[in-house]
Amino acid sequence: MSVEMIFGSAVLSAIISGLISLYSANRSNGLEYITKERSDWREEIRICSEQFRSASYQNTVKICDRLKTRINALGRRMSNRYSDDAHIWKIIEIIENKNFNINKLSKLQLILQEYLSLLLKWDWERSKREVRGEKAGVIQLILWIISVVIYATGHFYEYIIESKVVDIVIIGENILLIVLTVFMIYYIEKQVEYSCIIKFVGHVVKKQKKVSFANYLITNCITSILAVIAIIGYFVYMLYSTKMMGITYNDNLLIFMISSSLFGARAVFYHHIYMSDLIKRYYTYASTIDLIKVDLEKILK
């Protein structure tokens, strides 16, 4: 190897290492800033919650004014979802109404404290979910890559090991179809995840039904069935695409395909576990607010 090649390789390695270090440093600084901002926000919400205790009406209104700048502004007019703090805005509007019954103040203060405690818990769990979600996404990506690599290796096995004549173009097309199938499964997973979350966000308007445990169980059953269908469909499509391309089956190829489908199944299963936990947390948050709303409705009668 010439000196120029060695020097060029060293420079390239240094550039790549520098870019990776720069990315890691920027990401670390960003996470540190977000973590600090969230910590400050939680502390401000906690202080507001504590100050509601035994506060006068005038002080309660002042605390509500501070609280408005710390909760989601979309929940006031643009959204009626619990996840956008619409339930908290509803209480603030009741308290600030000029016809407000001052005798109900202490009870509404307790309701607000419960809502804020739930909000703090929800945000803390969301922070943990974001970390887990990022790890889950990386692991799922790695599993899918391994699955496709094993599948591709199986098709090139005869060409590389057995030195048999194979049509590289046909094999390449087959592998491309499998990659597209993986993307399709991933896209469907995300759409199902979004649809399930929307089902359990909860709403403050009366015409919207409360989230129910029955719907929660049904949703989990449906997502489990869809996960099984995706796993079976992935393997069946491997067999179908291989046959469609005119590639001859043999024991070695079948072993590679089964191994590939097992890694694909693991990727689907991993996402299903993450999604089930996500749905559970949305359901728990919304159903708890629904229970508190029952007390609120009694107070407002």
Q: What is the pLDDT of residues 104-141, one digit of tens each?
A: 999 999 999 999 999 999 988 888 777 676 777 888 88
244 backbone dihedrals φ, ψ, rounded to 5°: -65, -35
- At residue 66 the predicted structure's pLDDT band, cuts being 50, 70 and 90, is very high
Compute CA 99 distance to the chain's CA centroid, rounded to the nearest angstrom: 42
Closest by CA position to 285, among listed 191, 189, 209, 197: 197
12-39 pLDDT, tens per residue? 556 656 666 665 666 565 556 567 788 8
The b-or-e profile of 263-283 (16+ CB within 10 A means b, else e) is bbbbbbbebbebbbebbebbb
Structure-block tokens of residue 195: 């649809």
Task: State the pLDDT at residue 1.
Answer: 46
pLDDT at 201 over 80: no
Task: State the pLDDT at residue 61.
Answer: 93
Averaged pLDDT, 262-290: 90
- What does DSSP assign to residue 101? -
Task: State the pLDDT at residue 114.
Answer: 94
Structure-block tokens of residue 40: 């400050």
138-183 pLDDT, tens per residue? 888 888 988 888 888 887 776 665 555 556 677 777 778 888 888 8
Where do the domains of the chain lie? 3-118, 131-300
Averaged pLDDT, 218-239: 88
165 backbone dihedrals φ, ψ, rounded to 5°: -80, 125
What's the mean pLDDT when you consider all of the chain? 81
Task: State the pLDDT at residue 46.
Answer: 93
CA distance 34 to 42: 12
- At residue 208 the predicted structure's pLDDT band, cuts being 50, 70 and 90, is low
81 backbone dihedrals φ, ψ, rounded to 5°: -90, 145
Task: State the pLDDT at residue 141.
Answer: 86
How is 245-292 classified by DSSP, letter by letter? TTPPP-HHHHHHHHHHHHHHHHHHHHHHHHHHHHHHHHHHHHHHHHHH
Task: State the pLDDT at residue 21.
Answer: 66
Task: State the pLDDT at residue 247.
Answer: 65
Query: How far is residue 76 from each of residues 90, 105, 208, measured CA to CA in Å?
Result: 8, 21, 17
pLDDT at 92 over 50: yes
Task: State the pLDDT at residue 263.
Answer: 92
CA distance 288 to 280: 12
CA distance 52 to 274: 37
